[in-house]
Structure 1
């Protein structure tokens, strides 16, 4: 995955975006003809040296016709003067996320002088990308809270439907375009390595980080020493069932910078009693069964290569401690808030709930 569009300028397949750039004095009738001929949803209004002035969409044209605007009027009379645009330093991931967020079919890319350098079309971006950011799936835990299910099977290999939890996670990343994977192992590691192999049957590369002793939820990162990690690394617990949008999370990380981005979600807890408020010896109020909301760690992270390199080989460290160390140094750590389906399969009730969710998803897919 390229870091930004500037790195690939001139190497991308041309999309003839110049055909949808018109001057501000173009008659509206001619602009309508160009819209129809090019089959795009909007035109770019620009100066002779391609400085963007605005856009005109087919919706703008329809509204102009309803207002009975004369077709001889210049097109800039009906253009949008503050269109959505992207910067030349934006990655394709960030552009795609931005277009999906604002429901855009095309997006002009401008340099620092507001000159049009490219136009990104959603259809082209939705062709399956190849994302080079590495992914590390943590699958070395003992799963003690799920015994006896985990007496002979590592928790990430417990099946939801007809596939192990870890395989469902892997497939979601593959579907999003990721291809470079690491899996940390410890407890009954041979079951994991024998099932996934080198990843060739999935069309990806899988390498293993074997912990000879438990290293905590972040310690396996120390086993990456000597490995060229050049892009932000996804780290995800191998016991999660979630629909989180990995591309949007990557776009968030790229947009805000920092050494890490952590997925967080809202957790609500209700006190089952009436809570008494007092002042001195006097009761001032009774709040019946109040609810409190917290943001909690969702077990999915994006870590900069610099942060990954700080974990030493064989160091025992948990991910919260790694993040707290960043905060103590006043390093920027971002939150990526998720409202998607998310289940931490830590106990038997969670496992049963995840099984039901996968079964429902399968039935809906079959019915469709």
Structure 2
């Protein structure tokens, strides 16, 4: 079945990287097909192309051309669907442009749409839901932060439903403050056709420390997310990215820009060697979403406090590879009343 939304994936070749991101967001099909004025295919852009570009220093306002994959796999309209599925599976791709003899785009095959439903993943998703949410008081005086309603349902429910829609079937909720309320609401997860287990912290252990309580230890790489992070990122793509890289741990990061409010004077001793007028500094910040290999848990001590950056540092000290997954999707850490108001304004009631 050809996707009905394929035209929304067409991107003029003179577009910017930001235009490509808007195209990906608008279509929701995870690919932009770069075309000339006659809709002839010049190349494709995916999330992965954009993320690799961001890591190289490409800016959102830059032309899209340097990050375009110029020789994508394509198929003719006459190819039978079972052959399309075999081709996509063999090449591990989720989108496949359809072009005619003149290389004009006439459609798009999307793996998720060719399949009846996403395959169940063996990977566990751990959600950190034990914090006291002190910055959100008085909202959290009688309600744990993950249960605060956004769009007519708890934040934590948004996370579970989004992940279950991508094939995740097993969730572990790390709870502490008012944890009984979270257990009462979610139970065993059967209402969402998933399985939910619980890690009960007697005292706050940090994100890494809570993982030391996992029993039994996961057999596959597992996803970890803070229970107050709302995002449009695809959890399955972070996991796939991690597995392709062969790292011990992956941290999702967001690009953060800060502009100095003053002109900066560069000096060497007493000598002035240059000026920068209100320079902009760019860095990557932790987005609160991770993929962890089971073997990484060896770096933890049971019931000992450990935050996630410390776990990553321990892995690095042991010569394990740790990597970042650059995000561009909408993301919100609901830590303050203003964040909660923004989240509620961004979500219509279900």
TM superposition shift of 1:185: 0.3
Q: Does 1:265 align with 2:245?
A: no
2:275 to 280, 286, 290: 286
For 1:72-97, what per-residue CA distance to the aligned partner results, in whole angstroms no more than 9, with x for missing partners? xxxxxxxxxxxxx7796x8xxxx2xx
The 2-side partners of 1:302 and 1:56 are apart by 32
The 2-side partners of 1:277 and 1:242 are apart by 39
Q: Does 1:342 align with 2:337?
A: no
Work out whether residues 104 and 122 of structure 1, in 8 Å CA contact, stay in contact via their aligned partners in 2.
Answer: no
TM superposition shift of 1:60: 11
Q: Does 1:174 align with 2:144?
A: no
Work out whether residues 94 and 111 of structure 2, in 8 Å CA contact, stay in contact via their aligned partners in 1.
Answer: no
TM superposition shift of 1:56: 8.1
Work out whether residues 326 and 332 of structure 1, in 8 Å CA contact, stay in contact via their aligned partners in 2.
Answer: yes
Which residue of 2 is the match for residue 144 of structure 1?
134
Which residue of 2 is the match for residue 156 of structure 1?
146
Which residue of 1 is the match for residue 284 of structure 2?
295
For 1:216-241, what per-residue CA distance to the aligned partner results, in whole angstroms no more than 9, with x for missing partners? 1221112113x141110111000001
CA gap of 1:309–1:283, structure 2 versus 1, over 3 A, is: closer
1:189 to 179, 187, 206: 179
- Mark the runs of 5 or more structure 1 residues left unpaired by the alignment: 1-54, 62-84, 106-119
**TM-score, length-normalised on structure 2?**
0.69
CA gap of 1:283–1:228, structure 2 versus 1, over 3 A, is: closer
The 1-side partners of 2:88 and 2:151 are apart by 42
Which residue of 2 is the match for residue 313 of structure 1?
302
Work out whether residues 133 and 178 of structure 1, in 8 Å CA contact, stay in contact via their aligned partners in 2.
Answer: yes
Matched pairs, number:
263
Which residue of 2 is the match for residue 58 of structure 1?
76
- Mark the runs of 5 or more structure 2 residues left unpaired by the alignment: 1-72, 80-86, 99-109
5 Å-filtered alignment, 1:24-173, equals: 57-58=75-76, 95=92, 98-100=93-95, 103-104=96-97, 123-125=113-115, 127-173=117-163
Work out whether residues 182 and 209 of structure 1, in 8 Å CA contact, stay in contact via their aligned partners in 2.
Answer: yes
CA gap of 1:268–1:332, structure 2 versus 1, over 3 A, is: same
TM superposition shift of 1:122: 6.0
For 1:109-164, what per-residue CA distance to the aligned partner results, in whole angstroms no more than 9, with x for missing partners? xxxxxxxxxxx966444632211100100000111111121111111111112111
Q: CA RMSD, aligned part only?
A: 2.8
Counterpart of 2:238 in 1: which secondary structure? helix
The 1-side partners of 2:299 and 2:133 are apart by 27
The 1-side partners of 2:150 and 2:257 are apart by 26
**TM-score, length-normalised on structure 1?**
0.66
Which has the larger Rg? 1
Counterpart of 2:251 in 1: which secondary structure? strand
Which residue of 1 is the match for residue 322 of structure 2?
333
